[in-house]
A and B are shown apart, each in its own frame.
Chain A
Amino acid sequence: MFGGKGITLIVLLTLILSACTTSRSTQNADKIMVVDMIVKLDRGDYWNTIRMGAEAAAKEYNINLNYLAPDNENDYREQIALMEESIARRPDVIVLAASDYEALGQVTDQTSYYNIPVISMDSEVASAKVKTYVGTNNYEAGQKAAERLVELTGKYSQIGIVNFVQGARNADQREEGFLDYVARFPNVQVMDIQYCGSDELLAYTLTKEMLVNYPRLDGIVSLSAESSIGAGKAVVDMGYAGKVKMITFDNPPEMLELLQEETVQAMVVQNPFNNGYMAIVAAVKAAHGERLDGKIPTDTKLIDLDNMLWPENQKLLFPFVK
């Protein structure tokens, strides 16, 4: 009964073949990747630009993006709650901009139980489970600010620093970068370092006090958008505009006004759009199991009066068409 066997074999092969094709076609109907992106705040130009970048990438890679943020930038408890809710939903990847380096470590570690890769962006988090960090090279940004300020004030000068949150990872790194660069010049003195806690008003009063305490100050560097706004206002109000050289961080519109009026000499501008975009690109790679570098730094740009209207900088400084 050789023929009988032959037929059985053919039928068997056909079944296997058809099984293969059907399984292939189900694979083709790939399910859409879901990425939960948990950031610090859901408003403000900076976060909206990050969101814009993330959405551009989500569209490009056909991803379902959930953009989540607490109501308050410093509310790490709500962020932990958001993380827990997200883990319960089992997204393919979580992108996290941690409001607190230490506090969010534990909840981040939990993701590894469920095999959810985590991409850290903007601010790092104390967890070894993070696949990569996408964000501004803060140390380098601090150094850039220092380099320009020393150029402006000269090698014999007094400098004040208006920082934002002491203990926040990016604040510390910017400060460290700045101080490390300034340390090369023995006659450049850092007279004072103040922390405004991301409060414009506090920054304003602290800067005012600083200018009163050190009237011979040659330069002020402010290391965040809020501290820059406060410091800028204080410098103008105290009549030091143009006399005290200012390097600021980020690009709130009021600071651009000051830049054009030459109160601020230069501003270190991050690229939040690229951060958001790169974070999603890294998330896609992580979901596909690709190995990622420990850090994916994005560049900062030093913007001054000369280059502020260059076409490539206009879009960076004014990300939104209003």
Chain B
Amino acid sequence: MRFWNVISRYLKGFHFRNIQVLISVSSITITVIVVLLVSIMLFDRFSKAAEENTFLGLGQTIEQVNANLELYVSGMEDVFDVVEEKINMASDVSNKQLGEQLDTILNTRDDLVSMALFTEEGDLVRNMPEIPMRQNTKLTEQLWFEKAVRKQGTLQYTPPHIQNLFKWQYRWVVSMSKTILYQDDARLKKGVLVIDINFRTIDQLSQRVSLGKKGYVYIIDSIGTIVYHPQQQLIYAGLKYENMESVLNYTYGSYLDYAEGEQRIITIQTVVPTGWKIVGVAYADEFLTTTKELSDFIIRVLMLVIVVVLIVNIYISAKISQPLRKLEKSVKMVEKGDFQTNVYVSGAYEVEQLSKRFNLMLRRIRELMDQIIQEQEAKRKSDLDVLQSQINPHFLYNTLNSVTRLAEMGKSEEVVTTITSLSRFFRISLSKGSHIITVQEELEHIRHYLIIQTIRFKNKFEYEIVSDEGVNDYLTLKLILQPLVENAIHHGIENSPDKGFIGIYVKSEGDNLVFRIKDNGVGMSAEAVEKIFSNVMRNGPGSGVGVRNVQERISLYYGKYYGLHFESEQEEGTTVTITIPIVKLEKELSEGEES
């Protein structure tokens, strides 16, 4: 159970599209296929060669047996010929000299059991050695007699049988028989000569042949009677079956036999003089062991290759996937909001590059985030400033003060003008909370401001507002002129002994909308101009704060390429140029398109 838990845990955590798994599985698959193909080819080649060798070897073994048998049999044939000749030449078959000759022949070979001459009726003429005959031999029914009589004049062989003709011994013999002519009582007669050869030599010869542990050799005659078979009794008892029918079709050669459920290699040779067939039966599983060994070897090699490939794979894929996984982890950290993570991953070149790029991207994001935070802060601050300038309590207080003074002086007409302008001024200042207003409204706003200031400063300065044809409908950030005009009045004109002049000009120049505020006040030194933007800490009333606020707002809304430009000369005056992009009123644009 525990084992299964472990296994199932592994399986749950198993991703098939995991790089490591992908690489391992695919390369193992390819390796296995290639190794299999190669081994199948090799196996085929080798096993064929092994099979051929086996057939050749078995053929040679059987051929050897055959050669021995043929030699043996032809030797016996020679003996038979000699005996036949002796009997033929003898003047009388019962001749004593013939008996001596035959006895000599008989003694030359151990395996000659007996020789005997019978009449065609089956009566004994003469035998050697001279042993009395048994009763009930039924010799005329025996195969050697029958065959000799049937096929006159040709030498006949019988399969091994028990020789029951003569007393004292039963012997397994092979009989050679032939009808021959002999002289008896000076008359030429025809009889059957039989020479019995002890079967032992052939039996031992066949027993000695080894065809593996289980294989054996058997011999049958031309009609399928068993001459020699190691399991002859089992076959007669019906416990064994030897498929001899297919064997009888061959004179020589080899084939595979699938009888008995086992693959057997049958090799056949024919002993020419007797017509016997030597059949070698070898069990394929013993002789084709080489193929089994081969397949074992191939399986082992396959396993080894798979293990090696697996280890190499694990190494390579780990090299690739582990940095990726590290990268993934740090990306996850970033995802969670931790931008401080620094990724450094070593490994494959591509992965290293990826991690470098990722780091660069991360740094850029960090920078951008910081920038956004700063910008947002600045925006908030400037918004607050705008809000403040919208209400501008100082200005309100000054104006109301001058209104009071005018009212005391009874200048009711100027009071009305001032109040009206103040009201207009604030209306545009608020402008329903919108940041963007038309140029016309902005100019209206500054006009009312100037009206109030002219009254307040008792016509200490004159002013002029000139706008090009068509610019009135362009959009602008609101309250960008007022701080500059306020600046011009307080720092330029108020301190000047001469009558002041403020000119405001609006033009479109290319894609840009340009506001110019000219005054003929005291002007500024070049250093003072520089200080306007640089010195943040200066915080005097109505000073650079308002100007810087305008600059910041413009660059926040339109980008840093837009903003203020100061040209100033001491005792001559100052010209401030505001450049913003032309933005047309959308409503008008769409109306224009419709018309």
A248 smallest CB distance to B (angstroms): 16
Q: Is B310 an interface residue when CB atoms closer than 8 A count as contact? A: yes
Determine whether the beta carbon of A319 is less than 8 Å from that of B15.
no
**Interface locus among B298-306, B358-366, B378-386, B484-492:** B298-306
Q: Which residue of B lies closest to A306 (CB)?
A: B138
Determine whether the beta carbon of A311 is less than 8 Å from that of B225.
yes
Q: In the complex, what residues of A have CB within 8 A of residue B167's CB?
A: 257
Tell me the chain A residues, 282-322 only, with Cβ under 8 Å from chain B: 299, 305, 309, 311-312, 314-319, 321-322
Q: A260-B136, A261-B135, A305-B136 are in contact. Are A6 and B234 (CB under 8 A)?
A: no
Q: How far is the CA of A28 from the CA of B289 in the complex (A)?
A: 12
Determine whether the beta carbon of B236 is less than 8 Å from that of A312.
yes
Determine whether the beta carbon of A7 is less than 8 Å from that of B200.
no
Q: Is B570 an interface residue when CB atoms closer than 8 A count as contact? A: no
Q: How far is the CA of A293 from the CA of B200 in the complex (A)?
A: 39
**Interface locus among A10-18, A70-78, A182-190:** A10-18
Determine whether the beta carbon of B314 is less than 8 Å from that of A271.
no
Q: Is B275 an interface residue when CB atoms closer than 8 A count as contact? A: no
Q: In the complex, what residues of B have CB within 8 A of residue A319's CB?
A: 233
Determine whether the beta carbon of A314 is less than 8 Å from that of B162.
yes
Q: Is A273 an interface residue when CB atoms closer than 8 A count as contact? A: yes
Q: Is B72 an interface residue when CB atoms closer than 8 A count as contact? A: no
Q: In the complex, what residues of B have CB within 8 A of residue A14's CB?
A: 303, 306-307, 310
Q: Is B24 an interface residue when CB atoms closer than 8 A count as contact? A: yes
Q: In the complex, what residues of B have CB within 8 A of residue A316's CB?
A: 233, 236
Q: In the complex, what residues of A have CB within 8 A of residue B459's CB?
A: none
Determine whether the beta carbon of A25 is less than 8 Å from that of B233.
no
Q: In the complex, what residues of A have CB within 8 A of residue B9's CB?
A: 5
Determine whether the beta carbon of A2 is less than 8 Å from that of B14.
yes
A267 smallest CB distance to B (angstroms): 14
Number of interface residues of B (CB under 8 A): 57
Most buried by B among A6, A14, A62, A309: A6
Determine whether the beta carbon of B162 is less than 8 Å from that of A317.
yes
Determine whether the beta carbon of A3 is less than 8 Å from that of B21.
yes
Q: Is B558 an interface residue when CB atoms closer than 8 A count as contact? A: no
Q: Is B10 an interface residue when CB atoms closer than 8 A count as contact? A: yes
Q: Is A256 an interface residue when CB atoms closer than 8 A count as contact? A: yes
Determine whether the beta carbon of B13 is less than 8 Å from that of A2.
yes
Determine whether the beta carbon of A2 is less than 8 Å from that of B239.
no
Please tell me which one of the listed residues A253, A274, A322 contacts residue B234 in the complex, with CB atoms under 8 A apart: A274
Determine whether the beta carbon of B234 is less than 8 Å from that of A11.
no
Determine whether the beta carbon of A21 is less than 8 Å from that of B200.
no
Q: A25-B296, A321-B172 are in contact. Are A6 and B14 (CB under 8 A)?
A: yes
Q: In the complex, what residues of B have CB within 8 A of residue A9's CB?
A: 7, 10-11, 14
By size class, the interface of chain A is 35 or more
Q: In the complex, what residues of A have CB within 8 A of residue B200's CB?
A: 321-322
Q: How far is the CA of A322 from the CA of B171 in the complex (A)?
A: 7
Determine whether the beta carbon of A271 is less than 8 Å from that of B21.
no
Q: Which residue of A lies closest to B299 (CB)?
A: A21
A309 smallest CB distance to B (angstroms): 6
Determine whether the beta carbon of A273 is less than 8 Å from that of B162.
no
Determine whether the beta carbon of A59 is less than 8 Å from that of B213.
yes
Q: Is A56 an interface residue when CB atoms closer than 8 A count as contact? A: yes
Tell me the chain B residues, 220-240 only, with Cβ under 8 Å from chain A: 225-226, 230-234, 236-237, 239
Q: A5-B10, A6-B14, A321-B172 are in contact. Are A53 and B307 (CB under 8 A)?
A: no
Q: How far is the CA of A25 from the CA of B162 in the complex (A)?
A: 50
Determine whether the beta carbon of A53 is less than 8 Å from that of B14.
no
Q: How far is the CA of A305 from the CA of B300 in the complex (A)?
A: 65
Please tell me which one of the listed residues B24, B159, B171 contacts residue A10 in the complex, with CB atoms under 8 A apart: B24
Q: Is A262 an interface residue when CB atoms closer than 8 A count as contact? A: yes
Please tell me which one of the listed residues A11, A253, A274 contacts residue B170 in the complex, with CB atoms under 8 A apart: A253
Q: How far is the CA of A18 from the CA of B303 in the complex (A)?
A: 7
Determine whether the beta carbon of A2 is less than 8 Å from that of B237.
no
Tell me the chain A residues, 204-258 only, with Cβ under 8 Å from chain B: 253, 256-257
Q: Is A85 an interface residue when CB atoms closer than 8 A count as contact? A: no
Binding site for B on A (CB under 8 A): 1-3, 5-11, 14, 17-18, 21, 25, 28, 53, 56, 59-60, 62, 253, 256-257, 260-262, 271, 273-274, 277-278, 299, 305, 309, 311-312, 314-319, 321-322
Please give 15 more A-B residue pairs, beta carbons under 8 A apart, in addition to A2-B13, A311-B236.
A2-B18, A3-B318, A7-B20, A14-B310, A25-B296, A257-B167, A257-B170, A260-B135, A260-B137, A261-B134, A261-B136, A277-B231, A319-B233, A321-B199, A322-B171
- In the assembled complex, 14 residue pairs joining A and B whose CB atoms fall closer than 8 Å, in A order, are A2-B14, A6-B14, A11-B314, A14-B303, A14-B306, A14-B307, A60-B231, A253-B169, A261-B134, A274-B239, A305-B136, A309-B161, A314-B161, A317-B162
